[in-house]
Structure 1
């Protein structure tokens, strides 16, 4: 009996892990943009950002990659070598392949973007916390 018949849910589970992985990467890269709406999300985003940057800088493979591969094998599908970014994102962004230098720069980019977003959010939060009111635009006088 083929593996797909033994574990028919495995292909669906592998696809769910793939979507979770993609959502996590999007959250790492752009999660700070959600802070104006949900400020407490920073408690989840900062550790996720730290993890994402560490994975990139150290060339680690995220634990979701082997999990997805194991589920694909259980479903009778082929897995893939390397990490999630190398498999799904780099063919679109860097067709030549993932190198340690590219990984380092991806980590720098994620960190820089988020530091800028956190800085903007922090500045807005401080203004509101200290009672600074936004300046209202002046309406032109109609004659």
Structure 2
């Protein structure tokens, strides 16, 4: 893979990672607000299941003492691109600053576990609903 392609893929992966983080962080407050405002989409079983699985992966990685696999993949792509570290490109510099904090993983562990437990608790406090069965017209 040529360095320019690896760099673009690393930037795309960083953008995807930032989107997943935003999704994971925003869902619990959105669910609570949506329950209060009677927004049907916050009870969508597929969306809620995706969020719960995503938070379970984050919590499991933290419990195992591992950084996110997306971070590892992005780093590998940056090495292929010949980039030594963060701050080289616009996307990398700004999204990287928002996404990556320089603290020990152990410091983030209670936050990750707590947010995952909140997400699990919301499954019962604001239960998702099954989509109504589609009627078949003959």
Q: 1:77-116 residue pairs with structure 2 within 5 A? A: 77-79=83-85, 88-91=99-102, 97-100=103-106, 102-116=107-121
Work out the CA distance in 2 between the residues paired with 1:17 and 1:105. Answer: 26
Out of 21, 24, 28, which is 2:20 matched to? 24
Answer whether contact 2:6 2:78 (CA < 8 A) is retained: yes
Normalising by structure 1, report the TM-score.
0.60
* 1:8 aligned counterpart, secondary structure: helix
Q: Determine whether 1:74 maps to 2:80.
A: yes
RMSD between aligned residues: 3.4
Work out the CA distance in 1 between the residues paired with 2:83 and 2:100. Answer: 20
Work out the CA distance in 2 between the residues paired with 1:16 and 1:46. Answer: 24
Out of 11, 15, 26, which is 2:7 matched to? 11
Unaligned stretches of 5+ residues in structure 2:
35-39, 87-95, 130-138
Answer whether contact 2:24 2:51 (CA < 8 A) is retained: yes
Bigger-Rg structure (1/2)? 1
* 1:76 aligned counterpart, secondary structure: coil
Higher RCO, Cα 8 Å, sep 6+ = 2
Normalising by structure 2, report the TM-score.
0.62
Answer whether contact 1:29 1:49 (CA < 8 A) is retained: no
Total equivalences in the alignment: 112
Work out the CA distance in 2 between the residues paired with 1:88 and 1:61. Answer: 12
